[in-house]
Amino acid sequence: MFTLKFGLYALGALAAAQSGLAAPAEDASVQYLPSKRDVIEEAPLYAEGGPKFTDVHKVFNFANQWFNAPLAACAATKAYRALIKDRLSVKDDGTAVGEVAVNFPWTPNGPQKIVVQHAQTPVNSTNDPWWPSAIKWAATNRENLGIEGLNGDGGVTEGKPEDAYRLITNREAARVSNPTPDDLNKYIFWASAAAIAIGMGDSAENITTWSAITKADPGPTEEGSIGYYDFESGTEKTMSSSDAEKNVRALIIDKITAEAQVA
Ligand SMILES: *[C@@H]1O[C@H](CO)[C@@H](O)[C@H](O)[C@H]1NC(C)=O
Ligand SMILES: *[C@@H]1O[C@H](CO)[C@@H](O)[C@H](O)[C@H]1NC(C)=O
C-alpha cells in the first residue's frame, strides 16, 4: 500500500517537473539551472543526480537548520528531488538564467509565486548552486508568508521544520517526538525512500540540531546505520541504529508516509 501510493505520487511529481523544463541556451552569463543538464557542477538542479544535499550547505548559515534540514533531506532522496525541481521555474527565452520563479503551492496564506533575481542572492561564483539560495531568498523575503521564523526581512529566526517541509514538498508533515526503537526502524531504516529530517538534542522539547537523513542502511535484525548531513562541518556523518536511539529526539516526515508506516 505504502509503495503503491508513494510510487504514484513520485511519478506524478516527476512528470510535472519534466513537463515544465526546457533548456535555455548554453554559455549565457549566468547558467546555474538547466543549461547543461548532464554536468552536475554546471546544472546542480537539473543534471542527472541533482540536486544534491551538499548544495544546501553552501548558501545557508547553519543557524537556520530547521529550514535546511528538510530541504537537504528532500535533495538526499531520489523521489523528492522532483519536488524541489517542481518548486522552481526558469524563464524559457533562450537567454541567461538570471531569474527564477519560486512556486510555493502551499503557505498558510495560500499559494505564492516569488520571482528571484540572481543578483539578489548571496551566490558569488558559477560554482555555487543557485537553487537553494533562490528558495531561501523567496522564503525569507516575502512578507506575510504566514510561517513562523520567516518574517519577510531576509532573516530566519526560530521556526518549525515541519513548516519548511510542507513549504518545500507541498505535503503535510508529521512530527514524531521521542521515537521508540520501533519507530526508528519503521521510519528510518525501512522508509529510506522518504525524505526525513531528524532532531537531536537533550529532549524532544529542546532540539539543538536539525539534520537530514542522507541514507539508511536497513537492518531489521542486525545493527543498521544512517547517514546524516552535518551542516556545521558540511560533511555527511554516520550513526549506528543504537546511537540513533540515543540521539534522535524527533523525526519530521511527510504525513502520508507516516500514516502508511503506522498502518
Ligand atoms: C559570497 O561572498 C560573501 C562575502 O565574501 C560571503 O559572505 C558569502 O557567504 C558568499 N556566498 C557564498 C554562497 O559562498
Ligand atoms: C537545551 O540543550 C542545550 C544543549 O544541550 C543546553 O545547553 C540548554 O541548557 C538546554 N535548554 C533547556 C531549556 O533545557
CATH classification of the domain holding 246: 3.90.70
For residue 128, which atom of ligand 1 is closest to its CA?
Answer: 13
Res 150 pLDDT > 80: yes
The predicted pLDDT at position 131 comes to: 86
- How many CA within 13 A on the CB side of residue 170? 18
Asked if residue 222 and residue 133 are part of one domain, the reply reads no
Q: Percent of the chain scored above 70 by pLDDT?
A: 73
The predicted pLDDT at position 219 comes to: 55
Asked whether residue 168 is assigned to any structural domain, the reply reads no
Asked whether residue 131 is assigned to any structural domain, the reply reads yes
Res 61 pLDDT > 70: yes
Q: Which of 193, 204, 222 is nearest to 3 (CA)?
A: 193
Asked if residue 116 and residue 11 are part of one domain, the reply reads yes
Q: Percent of the chain scored above 90 by pLDDT?
A: 43
As a whole number of angstroms, the longest Cα–Cα distance in the chain is 55
Q: Could you tell me the pLDDT band of residue 182, with boundaries at 50, 70 and 90?
A: confident
Asked if residue 158 and residue 244 are part of one domain, the reply reads no
Asked if residue 191 and residue 107 are part of one domain, the reply reads no
Asked if residue 194 and residue 101 are part of one domain, the reply reads no
Asked whether residue 128 is assigned to any structural domain, the reply reads yes
The predicted pLDDT at position 257 comes to: 82
Asked if residue 217 and residue 99 are part of one domain, the reply reads no
Asked if residue 142 and residue 53 are part of one domain, the reply reads yes
Q: What is the mean pLDDT of residues 66-92?
A: 87
Tell whether ligand 1 has an atom less than 6 A from the beta carbon of residue 12: no
From the CA of 124, how far away is ligand 1's center (Å)? 6
Asked if residue 209 and residue 130 are part of one domain, the reply reads no
Ligand nearest to the CA of 125: 1
Residue 53 belongs to domain spanning: 6-163
The predicted pLDDT at position 177 comes to: 96
- For residue 218, cis peptide bond before it (omega within 30 degrees of 0): no
Q: Average per-residue pLDDT in the chain?
A: 78
The predicted pLDDT at position 217 comes to: 77
Asked whether residue 90 is assigned to any structural domain, the reply reads yes
Domain boundary (141, 163, 185) is at 163
Protein residue closest via CA to atom 13 of ligand 2: 206
Q: What is the mean pLDDT of residues 197-224?
A: 85
Domain boundary (114, 134, 163) is at 163
Tell whether ligand 1 has an atom less than 6 A from the beta carbon of residue 56: no
Q: Could you tell me the pLDDT band of residue 216, with boundaries at 50, 70 and 90?
A: confident
Protein residue closest via CA to atom 14 of ligand 2: 206
Asked if residue 189 and residue 102 are part of one domain, the reply reads no
161 contacts 209 by C-beta, under 8 angstroms: no
How many contiguous H segments (helices) and E segments (strands) does the chain have? Answer: 9, 9
Asked if residue 152 and residue 117 are part of one domain, the reply reads yes
Asked if residue 133 and residue 61 are part of one domain, the reply reads yes
Domain boundary (144, 163, 182) is at 163
Q: What is the mean pLDDT of residues 121-149?
A: 84
* Domain total in the chain: 2
Grid coordinates representing 28? 549565457
Is the pTM higher than 0.75? The answer reads yes
**pLDDT: which is higher, 108 or 189:** 108
